Amino acid sequence: MSMLRREVLHHFKSLLRASQTAFKEDAQALTASRKKINEEYKSKKHVKDQDSIIELLKFSKDVETELKQNVIQAKEKSPGKFGIYFPID
């Protein structure tokens, strides 16, 4: 298996893990994020140019960072009162 292919698979798995962590208490968001990640990777399956693949990998890493650092969720603490939930902490 080529190194670039391994890198793509690594980024794919890392992105799925980041979405699992970010949306672990929200089944609907988790399902939607998993579906979107799969769709995006499948739609780019035909890309063969190495420079294009590297750019796509950078984008994937940026999305992973966004999920890890900027996703917050609100949890209902009592009826009508919500608190911020940081899924990474």
**Domain count of the fold of the chain:** 1
Collapsing DSSP states into helix, strand and coil, what is residue 76? strand
Helix 50-70 vs helix 3-22: angle between axes, to the nearest 10 degrees? 20
Q: What is the pTM of this model?
A: 0.81
Collapsing DSSP states into helix, strand and coil, what is residue 47? coil
Query: How do residues 14-49 score in pLDDT, each as one tens digit?
Result: 999 999 998 888 899 999 999 999 999 999 999 999
Q: Domain range holding 81?
A: 3-85
Instruction: Report residue 30 CA to chain centroid gap.
Output: 10
Residue with tokens 């995006």: 40
Vertex 58: Cα angle to 89 and 49 (nearest 5):
150
